[in-house]
A and B are shown apart, each in its own frame.
Chain A
Amino acid sequence: MIYAEVLLEAAQVEGTAFEVSGQLRALQKAVRSSIALRETLADRSLPASTRRALLEKVFAGFDPALLVVLGVMIERDDFALLNKLSETYELCAEQALGAVIIDVTTAISLDDGLRTVLRDRFSAQFGCDVLLREQIDPTIIGGIVLSSHGKRIDASVASQLERARVALTTSR
């Protein structure tokens, strides 16, 4: 996918390939969760310049190369390929960086000790370096949620409470 290749090249020049992958994932999540934003950015009745300005305004502070590539996609009416861009970019970035990106969600920020534990554990599993894409989500209450390449390990307190709730609800 040409957009992913161009974005990766630009990010590598800036040395922000890993950060861009996180921003791309965050942008993808934001667009997915907001119907109004998604429909407005994909609305062909609006001028491309207007939609591009909206994108830059909403996601100000994101990597400029990312915003430029997305702006081109809007102008060429390819914004619907955002999910494909994210997946392809992540694979390409992992290859370029020689590491596996793992999304880590916790209720509190990780300290260096936990990061070391995580890297050691999953480096051994994948046989290569591991990059942790951290996210803090208090709704998981405690524990940790890990995901990579479509696989997910939910070891959060919230999920355990949910399992307990289901067991209480379905038990007689």
Chain B
Amino acid sequence: MRKHLTSAAGMLATVAASLCAVPVVAFAAEETAEESAQGIGLLLPKLGEWIPMLISFIILWVLLAKFGWPAFMGMIDKRAATIKDSLEKAEVAKLDSERLLAEQRAELDDARRLAAQIVADAKTAAEQVRSEIATQARDEAQAMIIKASKAIETEKKAAIAQLQGSVADLSVAVAGRVIGADLSESEHRAIIERYLIEAGNLNAN
């Protein structure tokens, strides 16, 4: 910016120099114009008017160069600095935004991965729970079947034992009655004698 302003000032100086050169031509032309007050001489300023104008211009130019131009350049520099600062801030903001965007994208990706992992874990856990429940149910059913089989077997054995006991009791009772009723005294005595022979020793230790 400053470069552009400097070149503009150079151009202005060139124009001013050109304008300074113009009176020389003008003087030459005025001489000829006085000689001939016709044609182009009608368009050219008269020398008496042109010099004050030049002086005023120079004074104005000096004043501007002395007081206006530094202030103007200060404003320009300040504005350039502000713009530069703004641009730097914008650049920093842009970088920050890009960084934040990258971070957010990374976080979003992490969140997506995490969500996917959670879903996968949940599926795995659900599958494991389902498998465990199925296994447990199968085991319980098997245990119930075994228990029922054992209960049936036990009941069966108990029933057989009860029947066996009843048959034995009945058989022995019948046998006892038959034997008791059928034995005569002589048979009783014969049994006693026979049992005495088979009996052990009452005095044995």
From B161, B165, B167, B176, A157 is in contact (CB under 8 Å) with B176
Q: A117-B196, A142-B179, A153-B199 known; A164 and B172 CB under 8 Å?
A: yes
Contact, CB under 8 Å: B172 / A165: yes
Interface status of A141 (Cβ within 8 A of chain B): yes
Contact, CB under 8 Å: B202 / A111: no
How far is B169's CA from A122's CA once the two chains are assembled, in angstroms? 35
Contact, CB under 8 Å: A141 / B164: no
Contact, CB under 8 Å: A161 / B172: yes
Contacts of A121 in B (CB 8 A): 196
Interface status of A35 (Cβ within 8 A of chain B): no
Task: Sort chain A's interface into a size bin.
Answer: 35 or more
Q: Which residues of A contact B (CB under 8 A)?
A: 102, 106-108, 111, 113-114, 117-118, 121-122, 125-126, 138, 141-144, 146-149, 151, 153, 155, 157-158, 161-162, 164-166, 168-169, 171
A-B pairs with beta carbons under 8 Å apart, 26 shown: A107-B183, A107-B188, A108-B188, A114-B192, A117-B196, A122-B202, A122-B203, A126-B202, A141-B183, A142-B187, A143-B192, A144-B192, A144-B196, A146-B199, A146-B202, A148-B202, A151-B202, A157-B191, A161-B172, A161-B175, A162-B172, A164-B175, A165-B168, A165-B171, A168-B171, A169-B161
